[in-house]
Each structure stands twice: as C-alpha cells, then as structure tokens.
Amino acid sequence: MTSGRSFYITTPIYYPSDLPHIGHGYTTVAVDALARWHRQAGDDTWMLTGTDEHGQKMLRAAAANGVTPQEWVDKLVTESWFPLLETLDVANDDFIRTTQPRHEERVQEFVKALYDRGYIYAGEYEALYCVGCEEFKPEAEIVDGTGPFEGLKVCAIHSKPLELLQEKNYFFKLSEFQDRLLELYKTEPDFVRPESARNEVVSFVRSGLKDLSISRSAFDWGITVPWDPSHVIYVWVDALLNYATAVGYGTDPEQFARRWPAFHVVGKDILRFHAVIWPAMLMAAGLDVPRGVFAHGWLLVGGEKMSKSKLTGIAPTEITDVFGSDAYRFYFLSAIAFGQDGSFSWEDLSARYQAELANGFGNLASRTVAMISKYFDGVVPPAGPSTDLDAAIHKIVADAATAADAAIERFRIDEAIAAIWTIVDALNGYITENEPWALAKDEAQRERLGTVLYTAAEGLRALAVLLSPVMPESTAKLWVALGAEGSIGALADQPIRDAGTWGVLRPGSSVEALTPLFPRVEQA
C-alpha cells in the first residue's frame, strides 16, 4: 500500500541526558498516530524519531555520572529510549542517533557547503547561554532569578542561571533570510500551525533576525567543524540536520527525493528552531524547506510545564503499567486540543478511562459480540430492510469518517477522535433504543434482531479501522473478535479513507469471544 503521495513525519530528536517522561511520550504517540493514519490510507509514509546526543548538557550529565558522554548516551538510549517505543506501541520506520556516522559525516558536508557558499563567517561573541535549552537566550526569555538564584539572570523556561559565554565562533548569516522567511509564511499559510504558533513566528521574524552562532570551542563533545578542528558544530545545527541525514541526504539521492520534504511535529518550546533557523539553513543550502511545522502545547502538571529538571516528570510506564498503552495514547490524544496546553491529572485520566473507554467503547464491543454469540450462535447475521434508525447510523459513520480524515489533514488528532466518537455514542444509543434483548424474545422479530446486531457489528468494524491508528492493540483484538480477520483480511490492510463505506463486514463470519478491551483498574 505505498502507491500514494509521500508523507514523511518526524518527532523532535530527544536529549537522552535523562529518562523519558510523558511529555516526550505525548509528541511521539501523536506523530505515530498521524503516521499510522497516513500509512493505512495508502500514503507513502515514513516516520522518524531519534535522539540528540551531542552538546554541553550531555557532557555534563555524563561527567556527573562519572562516564564518557558516549557511554552515557549508549546506556540511556538502549535502556530507556528504545524501550519507550515498545511501551507506547510506536511503529516508527527509523530511529536516528546523532552520534551515528551516517549523520556525523553528512552534517560536516552540509556545513561545509554553507561555508563554501559564503553563508558562514568567523566572529567574536559574548552572550548569555542556557545549557538546558542549549541556546543563547534572546532578551525576552531572560528573567531575574529568585530564591537560591537571587541576583542572577535565569532562563524563563528552566529557571536556572544563565552562563556568560565569550568565544570566537562561526556564524550563520541568518539575518539574510528574513525577507525570504516572511515570504514563505505568507505564501504557505500552513507552513507553521496552529495559527497562534504562526503568529508568534511571524512577529519574531518581523522584529529582525540576528546571525546565529553555529560553533563552540570551549568543549569537544560534538561534530568537528570540517575546516577548523578546534570547533564543534552547535548542537542545534547538528540536531536539525537529522531530518535530512536520516532519509539519505548526501548518500542516497533516490531515498531523499522520495521522502523529503518532511512535516515536523514539535513542542512549542522548540518552534523557532524549526520554523525559522531550519528553513533558513535549507534555503542557504538550496534544498526544499519542510512541508510544515506543527507546534503542540505543553503538558502541565500542577499548572506548570512538566519537566524532569523541575522534578514534576512522570514516567510513561507509570501510566501504561496501570492503564495500558492504548489508554495512554487515547487519553493524551483526545483530552488535549492538539496545539494547546493541557493539564495532566490522574483523576482526569481515570475518569476518562472509565467513561469513554471501559463504559463507552469497550462495553459497546463486548455486548455486541456477546449478543451475536447468544442470539445467532456466534455468526454475524445478515441485515434486513433498513429503517430510519439504521439509516441514521449509516450516515453518522460516513460523516464521522470524512470528518476524521479532514481533521487529520489539519493535524487535529483530538478533533478526529471526537468525530469518531460520535459513532460510539450513536451505537450505544441505537442499542438502547432498539432493545435487541426484547426483540430476541419474539420470533417474529428475528429479522429485525439480525439487522440491529449487524448494524452494531458493522459500526464496530468502522470503529476498529478508524481507531486503529490511536489504539492499535484493542482494535486488533476487536477485529479478531468480529471475525473480520478471516473474512475481510488484516486490519492494517483496510483503507482508512474508505472506512465510512457501509456494508463491509460479511454476514456469515464467526465472532470470537472478547475479553474486556479496557478492564477495570485498581485506582492508582
């Protein structure tokens, strides 16, 4: 199923200086759900994630643990970052590490190409640097410290003191790209989404761009500047290039032409790197700019951005061990408007698990399969003539599928799930209204009973397909229980953009017992 248009989507590459938390997991499952949707629609899909392993932050974390930076990242990546993908059921196509030769060599080539094209020059620099952000901070993000940091300048994001750095650096002529960037945002209004992120980027660029320091000489944990081995390439320049090196930039022109340009999904904390610096770097190299950058909001815990450095970090396994990976994926992707901040709380998670997953979707699946077993010996009955009630379901399913696909095009996974959930609610209402248990008592209503149960089962068929990108595990179980695997093929092969077409499930197929999709959990 790869005949369709190219869809290449990336997560940020994470710093493995520390353990993953639910914020990293949030971005990753969002990108995975978008990738799974497009893959199932037949688009030529490629999902990339990975780790950003150079820089001062990594060097210090390694030193604090008494090992070399390479030993530190190898340990964290194998013990924690690869397993995160298993924990969250992520089907990425590739995982890039910036310490891999396939990346390091191409980064040097890219930077050399910019140097040769005259976009890089040597200069003196003195500015306040935040190691947490790995960034020289703009005025607007420097604030006065409080408590132990009274009297010091601190980073507005990390609340940690900034360091005054004075170095000879190489600079990238970012200031030359101001007009071309503004033109890009104008001609491609969807280049930065959502609207609020776009506005922020446009006003930032309008206020004027300074050239960017792109090398460091005070430490050596990085990729060497090819024409001056006393410098390493600035970790953000190194990191952004992963999106190109991972798909064959400089080594595999065919693969690069097939995949590039990408869509980038990032947290709003790193929007400017992706929507300003990265397209300017690509323009300077004569390459296509990304297809778009989508910035999502922050997960807040107790009203503040959740972060490991502020000790509010929650490990994804704390959630998946209790509720499972599907519930993790469903919760974060449905409860938070994609693009806005959202508060995480255990109460909210438990309540939604119970109401929407266990009582809503899970119960609909269990009772439909159980009634087919009980009243039709486990064989999906044929549908008789449709009534208005049935026709209303057909229309809700068709409309929901169309609306969900349109929402996914806008990257609004939350809106897609809300559209799909109209099917769950409608089918639960339909069963209550039609009372199949009452119809079963009257032999004269046998055909009607069959129609009602076929309608519920066929609605579940559509739900399994539409929800599989968000909840791959439970929808796969449901698929088998509906007897669909044997009669209409694998769930992954069902074209998602046709999911709303009515009448795909075959009467005569045998259902199988279904254990609860979302079992009762002991309160965390």
Sign of CA dihedral 283, 286, 291, 296: negative
Pick 266 or 466: Cβ nearer ligand MSP: 266
Residue reference for tokens 């660029």: 205
Question: 3-state DSSP call for residue 221?
Answer: coil
Q: Which is nearer to ligand MSP, 49 or 451 (CB)?
A: 49
Pick 37 or 294: Cβ nearer ligand MSP: 294
- Burial of 229 from C-beta contacts in 10 A (0-12 / 13-18 / 19+): exposed
At its nearest, how many Å lie between ligand MSP and the CB of residue 410?
Answer: 19
Closest of 147, 158, 98 to residue 308, by C-alpha: 158
Residue given tokens 């980064």 in the structure block? 107
CB of 49 to ligand MSP, least distance (A): 10
According to DSSP, the residues that pair with 424 across neighbouring strands are: none
| Shorter beta-carbon distance to ligand MSP: residue 12 or 290 | 12
As a whole number of angstroms, the distance between CA 167 and CA 96 comes to: 30
Nearest to ligand MSP of 94, 116 (CB atom): 94
Q: How far is CA 429 from CA 237, 361, 375, 435, 514, in A?
A: 54, 12, 20, 10, 21
Q: How many helices (H) and strands (E) does the chain have?
A: 22, 18
- State the residues that interact with ligand MSP by CB under 6 A: 12-15, 23-24, 26-27, 52, 239-240, 266-267, 269-270, 298-299, 305-307
Q: Give the dihedral sign, CA 128/133/138/142.
A: negative
Kind plus residue range of the DSSP H or E element containing 356 = none
Q: Which two tokens stand for residue 391?
A: 């026709």
Instruction: Identify the helix (H) or strand (E) that includes residue 459.
Output: helix 446-467
Of 271 and 471, which has the nearer Cβ to ligand MSP?
Answer: 271
Q: What's the closest the beta carbon of residue 208 comes to ligand MSP, in angstroms?
A: 24
CA distances from 279 to 45, 215, 233 (A): 22, 19, 18
Spell out where 382-502 has E strands.
none
Amino acid at the residue 279: P
Tell me how far apart the 2 most distant CA atoms of the chain are, in Å. 90
> Which CB, 11 or 474, lies closer to ligand MSP?
11
Q: Which residue, 52 or 89, is less far from ligand MSP as judged by CB?
A: 52
Closer to ligand MSP by CB, 243 or 454: give it.
243
The radius of gyration of the chain from alpha carbons, rounded to an integer in Å, stands at 26
In the complex, the smallest distance separating the C-beta of residue 281 from ligand MSP, rounded to whole angstroms, is: 11
Residue at token pair 């390493």: 232
Rounded to the nearest 10 degrees, what angle do helices 363-376 and 446-467 cross at? 140
Closest approach, Cβ 97 to ligand MSP, in A, equals 12
**Residues taking part in catalysis:** 21, 24, 130, 133, 155, 158, 305, 308
DSSP 301-333: ETTEE--TTTT----HHHHHHHH-HHHHHHHHH
Three-state SS letters, 104-146: HHHHHHHHHHHHHCCCEEEEEEEEEEECCCCEECCHHHEEECC
Of 319, 285, 289, 277, which Cα lies nearest the Cα of 301?
A: 319
Token digits of residue 143: 């604030």
How many CA atoms, within 13 angstroms, populate the side-chain half-sphere of residue 523? Answer: 3
Q: Least distance to ligand MSP from the beta carbon of 309, Å?
A: 10
Q: Which residue's CB atom is positioned nearest to ligand MSP?
A: 23
**Cα 360 off chain centre by:** 25
